[in-house]
Amino acid sequence: MADVLVVGSYIADLMSRTPHMPKAGETVLGGPFQMGPGGKGGNQAVAAARLGAHVTMVTKVGEDPFGEEAFRNFSREGINTNWITRDPDEATGAALIAVDDEGENMIIVAPGACGKLTAADVAAADEAFTGADVVLVQLETAMEAVEAAVNLAERHGKPLILNPAPFQEVRDDLLAKAAYITPNETEARLLTGIDVQDETTAHLAARKLAERGVGTVIITLGRQGCYVFTDGEGTLVPGVKVNAVDTTGAGDAFNGALAVFLAEGDEVHDACRKANRAAALSVTRPGTSPAMAYREELDSL
């Protein structure tokens, strides 16, 4: 069984549908309202667990009802919670999500407790790094926690996937320690200054990131699929066409699946094909963590 370690955020998702995105000062009647588990780290952990991996989560939540729900959710999904800490002073993180009739979304994240995840919290989970096949990290926590995870993965000789979302500046010495980096078009532009719109511009951005030391660059392109740049060569891995209901969490579905299939030994292009399918399945239903695909669904697509 693949062993995936996720270091990142847990956020309670507070989501409502809207006929259109509100303009400044505008109130829109929407609904229905949904509340559920989320956060990039939490979503990616659930995505990996539902695809059959043994998953360990490292994060921080508050001593509040949202924090209690975090433990219940991870337990339901079979995720190891031994390294999730509680913060007595900070509330569990929350995200305010609006999804319009086209399935597009706008999100405001209040990181709360997971924004206080420290290097010491991550270092305490050293044992989890020892047993991991792949380490998966995002940027929805304090950067010191990200740096600690990157350095521990390097120390233990574990391949690390860096999902640079939401965007923060990342030093070149940290990028050089990542086996894989998985920005979307916006994050690729912020990292490189290149406006990624198609295969040609994706190639330019990916090559620029590779020059900064990343082993393999994977730029996710929504319904187009993803662009993989490795060993000096770039390839577009096409996406899967589906009727999107809610695109929130598609990137998390991709990253969680990518970690699983790389941990299982798949070549990177094959892993990306499967990850594209996982992302496509996730957008056909509302929500983030609850929308993640199970292995049998992926196999039958």
Annotated binding-site residue? 276: yes
Annotated binding-site residue? 184: yes
Annotated binding-site residue? 224: yes
- Distance (Å, whole) CA 217 – CA 20: 34
Annotated binding-site residue? 101: no
Q: Is 231 a catalytic residue?
A: no
Place of tokens 């233990």: 156
- Distance (Å, whole) CA 99 – CA 90: 28
Annotated binding-site residue? 13: yes
Annotated binding-site residue? 30: no
Q: Report strand pairing: 54-62 vs 3-7.
A: parallel
Annotated binding-site residue? 25: no
Annotated binding-site residue? 222: yes
Annotated binding-site residue? 100: no
Annotated binding-site residue? 252: yes
Annotated binding-site residue? 285: yes
**3, 121, 133, 252: the active-site residue:** 252
The answer to whether the beta carbons of residues 295 and 254 sit under 8 Å apart is no
- Distance (Å, whole) CA 186 – CA 85: 32
Helices (H), the chain: 40-50, 65-76, 119-123, 126-131, 143-155, 172-175, 185-192, 199-211, 250-263, 268-282, 295-300
* Paired residues of 229 in beta bridges: 217, 234
Annotated binding-site residue? 39: yes
Place of tokens 């490292």: 58
The alpha carbon torsion through 189, 221, 219, 264 (nearest 10 deg) reads 160
Q: Which residues are tagged catalytic?
A: 252
| Binding-site residue positions for K(+) | 246, 248, 282, 285, 287
| Binding-site residue positions for substrate | 11-13, 39-43, 140, 252
| Binding-site residue positions for ATP | 184, 220-225, 251-252, 276
| Binding-site residue positions | 11-13, 39-43, 140, 184, 220-225, 246, 248, 251-252, 276, 282, 285, 287
